[in-house]
């Protein structure tokens, strides 16, 4: 009787399929990474001539002179940071208020609709915000805020300098207002989820001791989520920094440092949007790409900060 040799089977068809499928999924993930890498490389290569030409002075010079080919990033950088900062200052209290309201005080019948309304704000495309800002907010602001202030405030006083600006509502403050409305739903939604994640026994212990809802929220719940909340804020900040369309319509497009609250300014993305198609010299194009690189670095820093603070994913 012969003993049949035992065949050592190679990878079965199923195993090959598994390996193939895993490879495809992995490649897709790598394509994604390649895109990001390509983006960074394109910005670095494109922006390098300007950075090499101007050196570190590029970041602190507010000049923007296409005739003399002198470009400096300070105006747009400051504009970006100021509008984003103002927007966060306006959005944060509102977002906290909305999240707290939805979690603690809102009657449950209404809660679904209110939270849907807040989410819808996030869905409105930025160009619609831009149009609304330019055609509705700006004239209203000029007529009902700037013009009355002209009459009431002495132009040479501190307040007068603070509120100095062209009365057409196209300035960094109104741009910040629009950004605040755009960013607020993101922060509010995350804060709401964070508040919901506070363990019930912590809340109930506080109520049990006789705290008013205000005290429970301000002294117990908000500090509990503080770290992750700051992370949420930085995510919103990342969005505010990169917003293009809504800002371009309403910021007034002036390259100088904004010198007052109602001054026209520019952000990095609005500068790129306005000038890229028409930049006539290579150095101009390179300066714009260098600006893009700066924006990317700032956004990246905000995201890294958010990640460190929020910790691992909130599922």
Partner 1 sequence: MFRRTALAFGLGLAMISPAAAESFTGAGASFPASLYQAWAREYAQASTDQLNYQSIGSGGGVRQIIAHTVDFGATDKPLKPGELTRAGLVQFPAAIGGVVPVFNLPGIGPGQLRLTGALLGDIFLGTIKRWNDPRIAAANPGLKLPPFPITVVHRADGSGTTFLFTTYLAQTSPDWARRVGASDAVKWPAGIGGKGNDGVAAFVRQTYGSLGYVEYIYARKGKVSYALVRNAAGQYPAPAPDSFAAAATAAPWGRAAGNYVLLLNQPGAGAWPISGATFILMHRDQERPEKGRAVLRFFDWAFARGDATAARLSYVPLPVSLKAMVRRQWRAIGGGQ
Partner 2 sequence: MRFDRRLFDRHARRKLVNYGFVGLTMAATAVAVIALLLILWSLLANGLGGVGLHIFTMDQPPPEMPGGLRNAILGSLEMCVIGMVMAVVTGILAGTWLAEYGEGKRLAEVVRFLNDVLLSAPSILIGLFVYELLVRPLHGFSAGAGAVALAFVATPVVTRTTEDILRLQSNQLREAGMAIGAGKSYVIRAIIWRASRPGLVTGALLGFARISGETAPLLFTSLGNPNMSFALTQPMGALPTTIYQFALSAFDDWRALAWVGALLIAMTVLAANIIGRALARGSHHS
Residues 113-142 within binding reach of partner 1 (CB under 8 A)? 138-139
H/E element holding 13? helix 13-54
Instruction: Give the one residue of 62, 63, 66, 132 binding partner 2; rule: CB under 8 A.
Output: 132
3-state secondary structure of 70: strand
Q: Which of 44, 48, 53, 63 binds partner 1 (CB under 8 A)?
A: 63
To the nearest whole angstrom, how small is the minimum distance from the Cβ of residue 28 to partner 1?
23
Examine residue 299 and tell whether it contacts partner 2 (CB under 8 A).
yes
**Alpha carbon of residue 104 to chain centroid:** 27
Return the number of the residue (159 or 273) whose C-beta is nearest partner 2: 273
Residue 195 zone, left/alpha/beta (φ > 0; ψ -120 to 50; rest): alpha
Figure out which of the listed residues 1, 3, 9, 14 binds partner 2, where binding follows CB under 8 A. 14
**Contact of residue 68 among partner 2, partner 1, none (CB under 5-8 Å per partner type):** partner 1
Please, what is the minimum distance in Å from the beta carbon of residue 250 to partner 2? 11
Widest pairwise Cα distance in the chain: 114
Q: Cα separation of 11 and 161, whole Å?
A: 77
Query: Among residue numbers 13 through 52, which ones bind partner 1 (CB under 8 A)?
Result: none
Contact assessment for residue 246 and residue 126, using Cβ atoms and an 8 Å cutoff: yes
**Window 237-296: residues binding partner 1 (CB under 8 A):** 248, 252-255, 264, 274-275, 277-280, 285
Which listed residue (69, 135, 281, 311) binds partner 2 by CB under 8 A?
135
197 belongs to the binding site for partner 2 (CB under 8 A): no
Quick check: 126 and 240 in contact, CB under 8 A?
no
124 CB neighbour count, 10 Å cutoff? 14
Q: Are 58 and 291 in contact (CB under 8 A)?
A: no
Residues that bind partner 1 (CB under 8 A): 63-68, 70, 138-139, 166-168, 170, 248, 252-255, 264, 274-275, 277-280, 285
């Amino acid at each position: 009787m012969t003993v049949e040799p035992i065949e050592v089977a190679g990878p079965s068809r199923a195993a090959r399929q598994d390996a193939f499928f895993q490879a495809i999924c992995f490649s897709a993930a790598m394509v994604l990474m390649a895109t990001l890498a390509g983006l960074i490389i394109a910005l670095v290569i494109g922006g390098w001539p300007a950075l090499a030409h101007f050196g570190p002075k590029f970041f602190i010079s507010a000049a923007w002179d296409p005739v003399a080919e002198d470009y400096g990033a300070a105006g747009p950088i400051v504009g970006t940071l100021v509008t984003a900062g103002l927007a966060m200052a306006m959005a944060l209290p509102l977002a906290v208020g909305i999240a707290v309201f939805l979690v603690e005080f809102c009657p449950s019948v209404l809660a679904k609709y209110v939270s849907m309304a807040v989410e819808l704000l996030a869905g409105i495309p930025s160009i619609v915000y831009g149009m609304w800002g330019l055609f509705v907010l700006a004239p209203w602001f000029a007529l009902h805020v700037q013009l009355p202030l002209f009459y009431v405030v002495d132009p040479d006083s501190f307040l007068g300098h603070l509120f100095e600006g062209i009365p057409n509502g196209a300035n960094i403050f109104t741009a910040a207002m629009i950004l605040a409305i755009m960013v607020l739903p993101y922060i509010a939604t995350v804060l709401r989820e964070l508040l919901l994640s506070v363990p019930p026994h912590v809340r109930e212990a506080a109520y049990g001791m006789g705290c008013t809802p205000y005290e429970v929220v301000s002294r117990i719940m908000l500090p509990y989520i503080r770290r992750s909340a700051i992370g949420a804020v930085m995510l919103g900040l990342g969005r505010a920094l990169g917003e293009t369309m809504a800002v371009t319509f309403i910021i007034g497009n002036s390259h100088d440092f904004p010198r007052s609250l109602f001054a026209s300014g520019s952000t990095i993305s609005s500068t790129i949007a306005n000038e890229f198609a028409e930049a006539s010299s290579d150095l101009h194009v390179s300066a714009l790409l260098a600006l893009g690189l700066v924006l990317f670095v700032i956004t990246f820093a905000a995201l890294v900060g958010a990640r460190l603070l929020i910790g691992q994913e909130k599922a």
